[in-house]
Structure 1
Amino acid sequence: MSRRIRVGAIALALVAGMTITGPADAADPLLSRGKPVTVSSSGGCCPAANAVDGNSGTRWASVAGVDPQWIYVDLGAAMHISRVRLQWDASCATAYEIATSTDRVTWTKIYATTAGKGGVEDLTALDGTGRYVRVYGTKRCRTDASRGYSLQEFGVYGAAGDVQPPSPPGTPTLVGVTSSSATISWTAATDDVGVTGYDVYRDGQLCASTTGALTATCGNLGPNWTYGFYVNARDAAGNVSQASGTLAVKTPPSDDHTPPSAPANLRTTAVNSTSIGLVWTASTDDTGVTGYRIYHAGTQIGTSDTTSTTLGGLTPNTAYHLQVRAVDRNGNLSEPSTPVLDVTTRAGSDCTPAQGVCGATEIATDDDVVWGLVTLPDGTILYNQRDAHDIVHLNPATGAKKTIGTVPGVQNTDGEGGLLGLEINPVSFATDHWLYLFHTSATDNRIVRIQYDPAAGALLTNTEQVLLTGIARNKYHNGGRLRFSPDGRYLFAGTGDAQNTSTAPNTSSLNGKVLRINPDGSIPSDNPFRNAVWSYGHRNIQGLAFDAQGRLWEQEFGNNVMDETNLIVKGGNYGWPSCEGTSGSCDGFVAPKQTYPVAQASCSGIAIVRDALYVACERGARLYRTVISGDTLTNVQSFFTGTYGRLRTVEPAPDSGLWLATSVDGDKDGVPHNSHNRLLRVSVG
């Protein structure tokens, strides 16, 4: 058939009310005919199903005079979309997008125009994957208020695409280990198309990648230390598997048995009722000093990376007998500093602004990972147990605890997934009693809400509402922190990249993002990407806090260079994976307001009290305090360094104090009730 005859046949068919599906030799079949359709609105004459009924004499029409409007078709399974054919009535769209989705929450744009002309628009050479395909109109051809959008046929063409991730690789086995490196091997993952590579992680940090080899070496390890190694598989489409099992490897001691010299000239820089500032002269070592340990009467009470520290959480009017010892990379300890420094803390309380952080009082202990924590209107606390999936009510005045319920549908990841964020609406909780939760499920990470009955002290699990799904999960990098805006209008969530770095810069993915939703889970109309994404380019967010000006601050984990504290702006790109903190290719990205070396940080929760931002750090085992000055962070101080071990969660407490939760033991394995944690009430200046 000649081209002229073909065009003529189409014209005759349109006049006759027939549907033309395209050239007879189209490579991919029509997928959308007769499939379920959902629309933003529908005029009484013209229901949604008319757009996929195969008859161009019928149409779907939206309500009149309103932009934007949309229609999407459910193909029943994920497909690769190669072509979309739109047949418009006179009320067409001049500006619209075509997008795909796997979950109807996150949409990936595959075509956009501001020059639509109506009639038949046959969009070929498209490249997208999804179960759902949407037309999203933002400007109508007929702008008068009595007209809407009118679509006679919505044809989607394609075939099954690769959306299936590889299977998890086999649990690694040890090939060889030295004091500074480990070589591991694993059995291959499988994939419906083919595995193209593997990523090896050490305790959540990427340490090696291969293009198909089943063995790899991770270096830069320390001697006489235990590490956890696991592997993820990748395919050509960028799908990433769930993680393998974890192999624990302990490196042997090195040949260095020479201890550092003893620190000298130990002296005080400040003495208060609950803290003592110390400084000393550096030790020397043949391979290098890695840190210092501070002792009281022979018992370690703190650590330091430098030649100074502030010991916090001390008892007023108490004599302390202090010494410092240096340690090197092999764990060799120096002789103690001499002489012993005898210092007596002041009597009473002298918690001044200059002091910053003062005392800490234990209010409870827990044998699970304490993750989310909120203060109720009566001053008591709710917190969750990450691995046991329970929510606990705590009265900090008496120490009385009660488990109010178990959150349904939570699944651990043999790593850092489980029951994570916990939040209440600061404006409406007193009347609605909703608890907002971020947790890992069998298939994803998600945000839900469940009502709490304060009178009965019970979680009403039958009230659960799922607000947002489709946040990819993995062993690590699940994010999880929740924070309401001070006016209670919006719920923000921090997510991780699920160990797939390609998700972070993709604004159609919910991973590696700050998300913003309404309290009922709907998407605010002014979100920058028409989905839940508020900012992007993040690695693994576990800290969110609002300041007195209503600005949102965020804390995220770096890989092996630096952690970062960010001031979040709408639609901002914060650079991961191109940029880690200020390291890498960082031009054009929003710069962090503060960075910390990963070895002295790996920080999780943050809180803001009286224009001071507090950061709880795990690997760094300390609490940082910075002062918010304009849009910068100044006067960085560290407290409790090594005093309580790993710190995970910090939240504002009544009377301008802080709640602080440790994360000691069992916080990387997903096993319930194998931790040794403390909940503390911290006084601040």
Structure 2
Amino acid sequence: MRNGMQRIRALIITVCAVALAVAGVATIGAGTASAADPLLSLHKAATASSSGGCCGASFVDDGDSATRWASAPNADPQWIYVDLGATAHVSRVRLQWDLSCATAYEIDVSADHKTWSKIYATSAGKGGVEDLTALDGTGRFVRMYGTERCRADATHGYSLQEFGVYGTTGTDTTPPSAPGTPTLVSDTSNSVTVAWTASTDDVGVSGYDVYHDGQLCAQVSGSTLTATCGSLSPNVAYGFYVNARDAAGNVSQPSGTLSVTTPPSNDTTPPTVPGSVHATGVTSSGVTLAWTASTDDVGVAGYRVYNVVNGTRTKVGSADGTATGTQVDGLSPNTAYHFQVTAYDGNANESAGSTPVLDVTTSPASDCAPSQGVCTATRVGTDDDVVWGLVTLPDGTILFNERDAHDIVHLNPKTGTKKSIGTVPNVQSTDGEGGLTGLEINPASFGSDHWLYIMHTSPSDNRIVRIKYDPTADTLQTGTEQVLLTGIQRNKYHNGGRLRFSPDGEYLFAGTGDAQNGANAQNTSSLNGKVLRIDPDGTIPADNPFHNAVWSYGHRNVQGLAFDSQGRLWEQEFGNSVMDETNLITKGGDYGWPSCEGTSGTCGTGGFIAPKHTYPVAEGSCSGITVIRGFLYVACQRGTRLYRERISGSSLTDVQEFFNGTYGRLRTVEPAPDGGMWMATSNGGDKDGTPHNSDNQILHVTVS
């Protein structure tokens, strides 16, 4: 019946089109579109400036005129664009309006949905079907930009039933060459200007993206070979590099990295000493401190908490510049501590320590009270490489990946003894955050098949493989390697890497990054900027929403995956410079990047799924997550803290912070067999790809 109705509808449309042609109804345009130019926009990703409650952006190119996109009422201008998935020559645009049409609008094309070129404009739109032919534009993104509505009253907006884009796609799939390593032109305490030698491309370089440490900080045209990154901090080391892109959206591999330490500012005055340091709470494993805020001629950037023993200070905690207290965790029961607090500013001027030193003795060891949240933290191992993926074997011991050394290490947490069981073949680091990343075992079959599931960067891509582990010989059997999924683009940063099996062992999920090309995240044909879902043998499940490995899209850089007791998948994602986000993943869901970062940007657009919790980047850059007894635990690197969040329905509530500054950067958390949690730090060498230049701990954390 459905197919029959579709054929009838098609016949009616054809008859109507013929009737219009016989009646002499003209299409808009200076000529005729090539009859051979196909429809490119059907079911492509669409993004809008706003959407009414009924009518999301995705309805604009679904092939069904009974559905529509509607903008918010009484607002001009409004826009909607479609991502064709590849650069195309656009020859025709067909707009089918609802009653709420546009009298004034333009059609624009863009290579990056940021810089637009106008290929058609009118101030005499009449609604209905407007077939714009003989257009001449090239771009991956095509936009209708409305500036005046047909129905100007406050209850109506713009309403498009269908937005059809016709043309021919280009065949340019070759990215530009890597730009030359940048050189320093000039620097100030809060900005750095760099220059580089040009990339080459078979068609032409359209632009350059400049990054520091994985964060986009400047963009320039393809003819410009210098750029300035601002909003930096004084006396801080940064790593700058450049990517090139062409008009087809292909992005190069990165240049080499230029390390620059910004000069100190003229500010040499430290903040005043924090006053009245006192304890407001004491448990067996933590002390809550409070103080009177410091002042500074420029501004207090933060506070440091030290334990002073025989004149030697050891940092045990920290707090943000607006705080007047913090909780110091990871302490030993029934132990005397001697706390001193300092304040520092943005130029690294640090105040003298508070006086007198505060003497506090923790409570005797006891059961971990529910209100306490996190109790003891005990070091069970150390490593001099970046500890990334981590799994617990059936005997309670641990396997973990060394990202930069490319080894898998077996650790006995009871004794601290460890052994490398083998090196994963064909792994290549990226002078950034690529290398040996994800590690997982199938909870339903590992006892019999002993497969280790591994995600890593290779010389050509990111990929997922599996290799058998021999528990008797305690070795990695590299000869058994099976490659499960390839073609996940690589770059210096944004490689993703987290793996997670569904609780029943039926499906393997993987988190990927956008490979520093935001357009990848919205392209459902790309494996980048996604949560992926495959069978354990690498085949694609028949019910995947896009008939490939993609399960959800619109992600920037997926770093954490965890299932809750209801079988729902939670995801942790790096933002760029505004906020990180925790998402609850749904099949086929669009999470908004690059139009949306956390809740900033066009996040109100219909079709984008809002995050369940966000974190300012300075308090986040969160990586691994795990769920233990109804709580989500989130390990943060730049934020140097652990978040604990109650899962309440589909919300995250009762957010608490632990270990703020206690252990430095935190990367990975996983459940431990006793109901506790493994937690791995990520200090030193985690942005350079150099093996064995880190100083990391693996801890067992007792949670309530």
TM-score using structure 2 length: 0.75
The residue number in structure 2 matching 1:547 is 564
**Residues 446-505 of structure 1 deviation map (CA, whole Å, 9 limit, x = unaligned):** 111111110110111111111111100000000000000001000000000000000001
Larger CA deviation: 471-480 vs 344-353 = 344-353
The residue number in structure 2 matching 1:479 is 496
Would you say 1:260 and 2:271 are equivalent positions? yes
TM-aligned CA deviation for residue 159 of structure 1: 11
Task: Give, in whole Å, the separation in 2 of the partners of 1:372 and 1:227.
Answer: 26
SS in 1 for 2:575: coil
The residue number in structure 1 matching 2:197 is 187
TM-aligned CA deviation for residue 349 of structure 1: 2.8
Task: Give, in whole Å, the separation in 1 of the partners of 2:414 and 2:352.
Answer: 43
Task: Tell me which amino acid in the other structure corresponds to 1:368.
Answer: D
TM-aligned CA deviation for residue 276 of structure 1: 0.7
Task: Tell me which amino acid in the other structure corresponds to 1:638.
Answer: E
Task: Tell me which amino acid in the other structure corresponds to 2:342.
Answer: R
The residue number in structure 1 matching 2:425 is 408
Would you say 1:444 and 2:461 are equivalent positions? yes
Task: Give, in whole Å, the separation in 2 of the partners of 1:403 and 1:486.
Answer: 28
The residue number in structure 2 matching 1:434 is 451
Task: Give, in whole Å, the separation in 2 of the partners of 1:466 and 1:197.
Answer: 35
Would you say 1:225 and 2:244 are equivalent positions? no
Pairing partner for 2:632 from 592, 613, 620 = 613
Task: Give, in whole Å, the separation in 1 of the partners of 2:369 and 2:88.
Answer: 64
Pairs within 5 Å for 1:65-80: none
> Is contact 1:273-1:350 (8 Å) kept?
no
SS in 1 for 2:493: coil
> Is contact 1:417-1:476 (8 Å) kept?
yes
Task: Give, in whole Å, the separation in 1 of the partners of 2:451 and 2:529.
Answer: 26
The residue number in structure 2 matching 1:51 is none
C-alpha change, 1:80 and 1:285, in structure 2 (3 Å) is: closer
The residue number in structure 2 matching 1:467 is 484
Task: Give, in whole Å, the separation in 2 of the partners of 1:303 and 1:214.
Answer: 40
Would you say 1:176 and 2:191 are equivalent positions? no
Would you say 1:497 and 2:507 are equivalent positions? no
Pairing partner for 2:524 from 497, 502, 507 = 507
Task: Tell me which amino acid in the other structure corresponds to 2:191.
Answer: S
Pairs within 5 Å for 1:302-451: 302-305=317-320, 306-451=323-468
Task: Tell me which amino acid in the other structure corresponds to 2:315.
Answer: Q
Would you say 1:567 and 2:584 are equivalent positions? yes
TM-aligned CA deviation for residue 638 of structure 1: 1.1
Task: Tell me which amino acid in the other structure corresponds to 1:254.
Answer: S
TM-aligned CA deviation for residue 307 of structure 1: 1.8
The residue number in structure 2 matching 1:521 is 538
> Is contact 2:192-2:229 (8 Å) kept?
yes
Task: Give, in whole Å, the separation in 2 of the partners of 1:128 and 1:175.
Answer: 33
C-alpha change, 1:81 and 1:565, in structure 2 (3 Å) is: closer
Task: Give, in whole Å, the separation in 1 of the partners of 2:546 and 2:679.
Answer: 35
Task: Tell me which amino acid in the other structure corresponds to 1:331.
Answer: A
SS in 2 for 1:508: coil
Would you say 1:581 and 2:598 are equivalent positions? yes
Larger CA deviation: 295-304 vs 444-453 = 295-304
Would you say 1:651 and 2:666 are equivalent positions? no
Would you say 1:301 and 2:316 are equivalent positions? yes
Larger CA deviation: 658-667 vs 295-304 = 295-304
Pairs within 5 Å for 1:111-130: none
Task: Give, in whole Å, the separation in 1 of the partners of 2:325 and 2:499.
Answer: 35
TM-aligned CA deviation for residue 80 of structure 1: 10
TM-aligned CA deviation for residue 600 of structure 1: 0.9
SS in 2 for 1:354: helix
Would you say 1:622 and 2:641 are equivalent positions? yes
Ranges of 4+ aligned residues in structure 1 off by more than 4 Å: 25-28, 79-82
**Residues 588-622 of structure 1 deviation map (CA, whole Å, 9 limit, x = unaligned):** 21111110000111011001110111111111111
The residue number in structure 2 matching 1:248 is 259
Task: Give, in whole Å, the separation in 2 of the partners of 1:494 and 1:159.
Answer: 29
> Is contact 1:581-1:592 (8 Å) kept?
yes
C-alpha change, 1:275 and 1:80, in structure 2 (3 Å) is: closer
RMSD: 2.1
Task: Give, in whole Å, the separation in 2 of the partners of 1:269 and 1:488.
Answer: 46
Task: Tell me which amino acid in the other structure corresponds to 2:635.
Answer: A
Task: Give, in whole Å, the separation in 2 of the partners of 1:417 and 1:652.
Answer: 25
Larger CA deviation: 475-484 vs 315-324 = 315-324
TM-aligned CA deviation for residue 27 of structure 1: 11
Pairing partner for 2:654 from 625, 632, 635 = 635
The residue number in structure 2 matching 1:206 is 216
> Is contact 2:139-2:248 (8 Å) kept?
no
> Is contact 2:494-2:516 (8 Å) kept?
yes
Task: Give, in whole Å, the separation in 1 of the partners of 2:609 and 2:169.
Answer: 39
Task: Give, in whole Å, the separation in 2 of the partners of 1:197 and 1:462.
Answer: 43
Task: Tell me which amino acid in the other structure corresponds to 1:648.
Answer: R
Task: Give, in whole Å, the separation in 2 of the partners of 1:276 and 1:128.
Answer: 58
Which segments of 5 or more consecutive residues in structure 2 lack a partner in the other structure?
1-33, 38-85, 90-135, 141-167
SS in 2 for 1:504: helix
Task: Give, in whole Å, the separation in 2 of the partners of 1:275 and 1:159.
Answer: 61
Task: Give, in whole Å, the separation in 2 of the partners of 1:404 and 1:637.
Answer: 37
Would you say 1:670 and 2:681 are equivalent positions? no
- Structure number with larger C-alpha Rg: 1
SS in 1 for 2:674: helix
Task: Give, in whole Å, the separation in 1 of the partners of 2:88 and 2:571.
Answer: 37
> Is contact 1:272-1:350 (8 Å) kept?
no
Task: Give, in whole Å, the separation in 1 of the partners of 2:280 and 2:596.
Answer: 38
The residue number in structure 1 matching 2:471 is 454
The residue number in structure 2 matching 1:535 is 552
**Residues 200-252 of structure 1 deviation map (CA, whole Å, 9 limit, x = unaligned):** 00100000000121000001111111000000000111100000000000011
TM-aligned CA deviation for residue 269 of structure 1: 2.2
> Is contact 2:186-2:192 (8 Å) kept?
yes
Task: Give, in whole Å, the separation in 1 of the partners of 2:235 and 2:88.
Answer: 53
Task: Give, in whole Å, the separation in 2 of the partners of 1:476 and 1:192.
Answer: 25
Which segments of 5 or more consecutive residues in structure 1 lack a partner in the other structure?
1-24, 29-78, 83-124, 130-157
Total equivalences in the alignment: 540
C-alpha change, 1:27 and 1:533, in structure 2 (3 Å) is: closer
SS in 1 for 2:447: helix
Task: Tell me which amino acid in the other structure corresponds to 2:292.
Answer: T
TM-score using structure 1 length: 0.77
TM-aligned CA deviation for residue 531 of structure 1: 0.8
The residue number in structure 1 matching 2:70 is none
Task: Tell me which amino acid in the other structure corresponds to 2:675.
Answer: S
Task: Give, in whole Å, the separation in 2 of the partners of 1:543 and 1:429.
Answer: 22
TM-aligned CA deviation for residue 128 of structure 1: 13
Task: Give, in whole Å, the separation in 2 of the partners of 1:674 and 1:269.
Answer: 39
Larger CA deviation: 507-516 vs 327-336 = 327-336
SS in 1 for 2:425: coil
**Residues 311-332 of structure 1 deviation map (CA, whole Å, 9 limit, x = unaligned):** 1111111111112111111111
C-alpha change, 1:81 and 1:268, in structure 2 (3 Å) is: closer
The residue number in structure 2 matching 1:287 is 298
SS in 2 for 1:430: helix
Pairs within 5 Å for 1:81-96: none
> Is contact 2:87-2:249 (8 Å) kept?
no
Task: Give, in whole Å, the separation in 2 of the partners of 1:667 and 1:327.
Answer: 25
Identity rate of aligned residues, in percent? 72
The residue number in structure 1 matching 2:172 is 162
